[in-house]
């Protein structure tokens, strides 16, 4: 992104935009350079929704602040780090760590599907970050294969763009239009509030996609997929092997019947040990932050 002089744009007298990295339902992600700390970063430019009377800048600002506040509270290798939030020229910019990674969606697109032990390892690492977020009172609300980054050494959950502080009554229960219905918990599709078990459904649906090579509700017609997701269970997995118990437990339609994150972590660690992959015993952070600790 250049200015009229042909030079790359400078944000906040600190971040020089270099080139676009990608686009999602909420905005454009740029590669940029932090002149102060002399490091490359990723900067997400939040594009506001448009209405008949113009851009909904108030909603864009609220959404960006929620993303930065939610992700900025977290510090875990499986959660993308948020460094800064800027507002300039009527636009909002979120500064994050820069990762050279493929998404889980891209990886499965290249390989067709992932082996059971790869999927279990990805799930175990990702679940550590998700448990950390839930322990801090933060919900993601949009876990899907496009938001899971694979660097080779890390599995990272990105894009807390519609994350909500657990129990925050100001957060809408509406599912944003860019969310893929195959990865949204059935109760959320029916308008019920998000909670940790809804994140676990989305987590399970993403593991289903990884090992099976397709979503739990496949199809190119969004309305048909939505209808299936609201009315019936996913098709039984065919390639999951020992992961089948994890997937069935996470993808139970009644939220109260789903296995917990702790239970899922134990099952995944057992699969990995059987496969000869050493992992630490699953545990939660020693200090849990009350959900309302930073909301005053």
DSSP secondary structure letter of residue 79: B
- Which of 13, 40, 89, 142 is an active site residue? 142
CA distance 93 to 85: 6
Cα–Cα–Cα angle for 272, 277, 282, rounded to 5 degrees: 60
CB burial of residue 82 (10 Å; 0-12, 13-18, 19+) = buried
DSSP secondary structure letter of residue 168: -
- SS3 of residue 63 by DSSP: helix
CA distance 217 to 132: 28
CA atoms within 13 A on the CB side of 60: 22
CA distance 260 to 199: 11
Radius of gyration of the chain (CA): 19
Residue 72's alpha-carbon distances to 77, 136, 153, 170, 208, in angstroms, are: 13, 11, 22, 19, 29
- Count, in order, helices (H) and strands (E) of the chain: 8, 13
Residue 24 appears among annotated catalytic residues: no
Contact between 265 and 281 (Cβ < 8 Å): no
Contact between 248 and 258 (Cβ < 8 Å): no
- Residues with a known catalytic role: 142
């Amino acid at each position: 992104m250049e200015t009229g002089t042909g030079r790359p744009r400078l944000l906040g007298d600190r971040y020089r935009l270099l080139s676009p990295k990608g686009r999602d339902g909420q905005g454009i992600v740029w590669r940029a350079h932090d002149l102060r700390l002399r490091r490359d970063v990723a900067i997400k430019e939040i594009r506001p929704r448009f209405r008949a009377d113009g851009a909904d800048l108030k909603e864009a600002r609220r959404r960006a602040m929620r993303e930065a506040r939610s992700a900025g509270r977290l510090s875990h290798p499986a959660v993308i780090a948020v460094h800064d939030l800027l507002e300039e020229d009527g636009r909002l910019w979120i500064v994050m760590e820069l990762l050279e990674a493929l998404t889980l969606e891209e990886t499965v697109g290249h390989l067709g599907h992932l082996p059971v032990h790869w999927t279990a390892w990805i799930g175990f690492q990702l679940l550590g970050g998700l448990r950390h977020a839930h322990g801090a009172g933060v919900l993601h609300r949009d876990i899907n294969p496009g938001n899971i980054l694979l660097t080779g050494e890390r599995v990272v959950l990105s894009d807390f763009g519609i994350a909500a502080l657990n129990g925050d009554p100001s957060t809408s229960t509406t599912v944003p239009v860019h969310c893929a219905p195959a990865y949204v918990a059935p109760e959320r599709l029916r308008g019920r509030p998000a909670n940790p078990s809804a994140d676990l459904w989305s987590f399970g649906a993403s593991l289903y996609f990884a090992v099976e090579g397709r979503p739990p509700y496949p199809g190119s017609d969004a309305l048909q997929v939505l209808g299936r997701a609201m009315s019936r269970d996913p098709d039984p997995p065919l390639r999951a092997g020992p992961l089948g118990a994890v997937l069935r437990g996470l993808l139970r339609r009644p939220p109260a019947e789903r296995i917990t994150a702790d239970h899922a972590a134990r099952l995944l660690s057992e699969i990995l040990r059987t496969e000869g992959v050493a992992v630490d015993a699953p545990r939660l952070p020693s200090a849990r932050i009350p959900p309302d600790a930073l909301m005053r």
